[in-house]
Amino acid sequence: MTTTQGAPVRTSSSAAGLLRGEWVKARSLRSTWYVLGGSLVGMVLLGLLFTSTADTGGPSGNGGGPPGVDFAQPLTLALAGYNLAQLALGVLGVLLVTGEYASGTIRTTFAAAPRRWPVVAAKAAVLGALVLVTATVAALVSYAVGSAVVDGMPGLGEDGVLRVVLGTALYLTAITLLGSALGWLLRSTAGAVATLFGFVFLLPVLGGLLPADWGPDVVRWLPSSAGGSLLRLTTTADQFAPWNGFAVLVGYVALGLAAAVWRLRTRDA
């Protein structure tokens, strides 16, 4: 049976094949590169903006700025662009999944790889690797640019500094994968993006309105607050210790992806 010229076709569906397929899918969309490049450039430029205006009390001149930016700490200032980057990268995580549902290619994907969990895992691995590399570069460049602009930047060898710089990249990767999990669960771009932003931006703000005696105990368990501990040189009693907090965020990601696999197995594609 050869419709087609050539030797009989042999197949070997494998983990390597799945990863390669997801890599081809991610790299063949221009939006992937726009988001990754935009996040990198945006994060570095914002860091430059904050560090270069640090003397005058931040860009607005009154010490105001994004929540969580401590204008007394040059390191936090240099990396403050992560706030914007997580938005773009989270959307990328959503889009690489919901784009398949919107275009219908998800059916072709599952026809080629009928088992659901390896597809979810391969997509997460490829996306995670892409974002980890990009965010690591962005964090290191932001740090270097900040060091050149502002006085008093702690050295990479100082306590916790390297952890904060590389932790920024880890945090951004985790938020991206959270977006991916929400994409699988909700299948709609708008729904998943709104939910992600709700978790990352809205809930911490609403949490601030809770009574002071128990509010902080709730807020520190939120994904962005818990994961954000990794980005602080020093944490307060209201916050998780850096790696504990990050472990909580990773727990949310794992839970989200596991729920996604369960949902895919029980629901029609």
62 binds another protein (CB under 8 A): no
Q: Is 67 left (phi over 0), alpha (psi -120 to 50) or beta?
A: beta
Q: Which of 37, 64, 67, 114 binds another protein (CB under 8 A)?
A: 114
Query: Which among 58-66, 105-113, 165-173, 235-243 is the span making contact with another protein, rule CB under 8 A?
Result: 105-113
Q: 146 and 51 in contact (C-beta within 8 Å)?
A: yes
Q: Which is nearer to another protein, 4 or 62 (CB)?
A: 4
Among residues 37, 57, 60, 108, the one that binds another protein under rule CB under 8 A: 108
The residue from 33, 37, 60, 105 that contacts another protein (CB under 8 A) is 105
Residues whose CB is less than 8 angstroms from the CB of residue 242 and which lie 6 or more positions away in sequence, other chains included:
160, 163, 167, 229, 230, 232, 235
Alpha carbons 170 and 194: distance in angstroms, whole number = 22
- Tell which phi-psi region holds residue 7, choosing left (phi > 0), alpha (psi between -120 and 50) or beta: beta
What does the block give as tokens for 208?
């601030």
Nearer to another protein, 123 or 232 (CB): 123
Binding track over 15-54 against another protein, x by CB under 8 A: --xx-xxxxxx--xxxx-----------------------
DSSP helix/strand/coil, 257: helix
* Residues 211 to 240 in contact with another protein, rule: CB under 8 A: none
State the DSSP string of 149-175: HSTTPPPTTSTTHHHHHHHHHHHHHHH
**How many angstroms separate the most distant Cα atoms in the chain?**
76
> Counting contacts by CB under 8 A, is residue 117 touching another protein?
no
Q: Binder to another protein among 55, 159, 213, 268 (CB under 8 A)?
A: 268
Q: Which residues bind another protein (CB under 8 A)?
A: 1-6, 8-14, 17-18, 20-25, 28-31, 99-100, 103-105, 107-115, 268-269
